[in-house]
Chains A and B, each alone.
Chain A
Amino acid sequence: MRHTLSLFLTLTAFWGLMSGHNSILMLLLGAVSITCVLYIAHRMDVVDHESQPIHLSLKIFGYFLWLFKELVIANMAVVKSIWLGNASISPVLVTIKSSQVTDVGKVIYANSITMTPGTVTVDLVGDRLTVHALFQHNVEVLNTGEMDRRVCHLESKC
């Protein structure tokens, strides 16, 4: 029920922000389309904690800020090596361990790794992530496990 309510609020906000109309006819049409989407989503059985991760709550914003900081640092390293040429890169393919238990946690961790330039998650089997990194240094940073720890903290369970 909470997830349906969350989806309803998200859709309402999205419709309102996208259209910017506020005549009665338009609002009615919007309500009809939102109802249709809610019905279809229920039929597809996709309204759950995975599509509406409300349990992550407000901690996600702090995580995004931290991730953005990491993103800027990683970007500078990659741009530097682009202009310095191929001698400055040391590509490696490694397997690292993730300590998240839920699927959502694993996906957040894997996607965070992929989003940071210089590291791409190639495969995810069980709790083993195959990561391709542009620098040896990236792997050492991942092995310190700070991102892993932060994603665990986000979900409040490991």
Chain B
Amino acid sequence: MTFDTITIFSFISAIFLLIGSFLCISGGVGILRFPDFYTRMHAVGVTDTLAAAMILIGLILQSPNSLVLIKLLIILVVTLFINPTASHALAKTAIHNGLMPMVIKHDHDKMIIAKKEGKSSNRS
């Protein structure tokens, strides 16, 4: 037998960690690349949800005993509960302080990116 259980587990774990890292980097690139505050928040969503989940699943597969495994699971669940709350708090504060989102106007089937007012509050 060439593969024992530990080898297989660490192999699967490595795959999960790799995917998670790629998603984290994607989220970071998204924050830099997207045009305004609200769209950037969607990029953060990637890092918050699937990237964190993938990395934690990768770590769970490497965990030495069940106590560590359960702690990692709790971290995963708590992360998934906290992130939407934080995102919502950010978005609500932004819109209530008058930062208007950049939206696409439908103009005879031709899409024009319309930059709305609120540019000054973008900097503050």
Contact = CB atoms under 8 A, between A and B. Distances in A.
A binds B: yes
Interface of A: 14, 17-18, 20, 71-72, 75, 78-79, 82-83, 85-86, 89-93, 110-112, 114-123, 130, 132, 134, 136
Nearest to A118: B42
Given A18-B71, A111-B85, A115-B83, A91 B104 contact: yes
Given A79-B26, A120-B41, A110 B103 contact: no
B56 to A, nearest CB: 13
Nearest to A81: B30
A114 B90 CA distance: 11
Contacts of A122: 38, 88, 91-92, 94-95
18 contacts: A71-B50, A72-B50, A75-B46, A78-B30, A79-B30, A82-B26, A82-B27, A82-B33, A91-B101, A92-B103, A114-B87, A115-B45, A116-B45, A117-B42, A117-B49, A118-B42, A121-B91, A123-B92
Q: Which of A17, A78, A92, A123 has the most CB of B within 10 A?
A: A78
Given A82-B26, A122-B92, A75 B49 contact: yes
B118 interface: no
Nearest to A90: B104
Nearest to A94: B103
Chain B interface category by residue count: 35 or more
Contacts of B95: 122-123, 130
Shortest 4 CB-CB distances between A and B: which pairs? Answer: A117-B45, A114-B84, A82-B30, A75-B50
Given A20-B67, A71-B50, A134 B42 contact: yes
Contacts of A89: 34, 39
A71 B96 CA distance: 28
Contact of B46 (A79, A90, A92, A120): A79
A111 B71 contact: no
Nearest to B30: A82
B98 interface: no
Q: Which of A75, A93, A111 has the most CB of B within 10 A?
A: A75
Contacts of A132: 38, 41, 91, 101
A18 B68 CA distance: 9
